[in-house]
């Protein structure tokens, strides 16, 4: 439950707060623009999150390593003591105190989904806050504080999977690597390092001076700009062909 809240809900509130802080204007305008930006960022965040989760679930289904508590959860028959140096595939779980779903989950240890999702959320939000909030938040301690909270969340979630005997250390390590790789991929390919049309340069009316840039660079304009350019050329040509006769001052007298 805590994983779902911190992974799904906390980024939503952080994104809305940052984008609301970045917008100037009336209260309604700030809410409207911030909500629109929040939805777009959150959409890319969820896309990368489910991509990472899909990779983790596929690996769990293919590899399927027993969890540290497998023997207690399954209570297999025959219950050997791992001295035969052979991989046992024929066994029967006799524990009736737990459901079959829990027994099946005891064979899906590799990789750790909790560490993968927590590391994905932490790295994505660290990069988001670094690129979007640093220039808007007045306090220089606000950005590092939020980043530190997410980093501590990822570390705590990963370490407790080992201390609770839910995963081996290599399960947590590989899961964290998948989450980190997924976050970097989402930030680079989906969010383009959070440099979008909302930055100041992108918001400039480029169409108004695009014609001048094209003329100076030697490019041929298209559409209406082409006709305007041709009209200007004809006007300059007519002026250049006009002969101006200078009359001496003594002739005027």
Of 60, 64, 66, 163, the C-alpha closest to 116 is: 60
Predicted pLDDT of residue 48: 97
pTM: 0.74
Q: Which segment of 99-103, 191-195, 220-224 scores lowest on mean pLDDT?
A: 220-224
Lowest mean pLDDT among 60-74, 92-106, 176-190, 222-236: 222-236
Whether 192 is catalytic is: no
What is the number of other CB atoms lying within 10 angstroms of the CB of residue 141? 9
Question: How far apart (Å, rounded) are the C-alpha atoms in residues 86 and 246?
Answer: 111
Mean pLDDT of the region 31-38? 89
For range 160-181, the mean pLDDT: 96
- Active-site annotation holder among 20, 69, 114, 165: 114
pLDDT confidence tier of residue 157, bands split at 50, 70 and 90: very high
Is the confidence at residue 185, as pLDDT, over 90?
Answer: yes
Q: What is the pLDDT of residue 131?
A: 87
- Percent of the chain predicted with pLDDT > 90: 43
Question: Is residue 70 exposed (0-12), middle (13-18) or buried (19+ Cβ within 10 Å)?
Answer: middle
Residue 141 has pLDDT above 90, yes or no: no
pLDDT band, residue 14 (cuts 50/70/90): very high
pLDDT for residue 236? 52
Q: Which of 76-80, 122-126, 175-179 has the lowest mean pLDDT?
A: 76-80
pLDDT number for residue 238? 54
- Residue 167 designated active-site: yes
Q: What is the mean pLDDT of residues 179-208?
A: 72
What confidence tier does 206 reach under pLDDT thresholds 50, 70, 90?
Answer: very low
List the catalytic residue out of 167, 168, 229, 250: 167
Backbone angle region of 223, left / alpha / beta, with phi > 0 → left and psi within -120 to 50 → alpha: left
For 198-221, what is the mean pLDDT? Answer: 42
Residue 178 or residue 38, greater confidence: 178
């Amino acid at each position: 439950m805590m994983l779902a809240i911190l992974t799904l809900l906390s980024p939503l509130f952080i994104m809305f707060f940052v984008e609301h802080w970045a917008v100037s204007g009336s209260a309604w305008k700030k809410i409207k623009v911030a909500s629109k930006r929040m939805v777009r960022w959150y959409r890319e965040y969820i896309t990368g999150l489910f991509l990472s989760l899909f990779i983790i679930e596929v690996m769990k289904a293919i590899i399927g390593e027993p969890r540290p508590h497998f023997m207690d959860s399954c209570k297999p028959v025959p219950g050997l003591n791992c001295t035969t140096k052979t991989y046992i595939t024929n066994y029967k779980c006799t524990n009736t105190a737990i459901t079959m779903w829990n027994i099946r989950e005891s064979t899906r240890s590799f990789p750790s989904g909790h560490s993968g999702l927590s590391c994905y959320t932490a790295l994505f939000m660290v990069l988001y806050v670094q690129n979007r909030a640093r220039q808007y938040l007045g306090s220089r301690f606000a950005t590092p504080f939020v980043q530190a909270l997410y980093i501590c969340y990822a570390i705590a979630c990963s370490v407790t999977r080992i201390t609770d005997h839910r995963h081996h250390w290599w399960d947590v390590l590989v899961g964290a690597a998948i989450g980190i790789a997924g976050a970097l991929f989402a930030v680079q390919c989906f969010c383009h390092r959070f440099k979008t049309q909302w930055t100041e340069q992108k918001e400039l009316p480029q169409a108004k001076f695009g014609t001048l840039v094209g003329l100076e660079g030697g490019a041929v304009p298209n559409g209406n700009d082409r006709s305007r350019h041709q009209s200007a050329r004809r006007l300059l040509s007519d002026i250049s062909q006009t002969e101006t006769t200078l009359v001496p001052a003594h002739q005027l007298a």
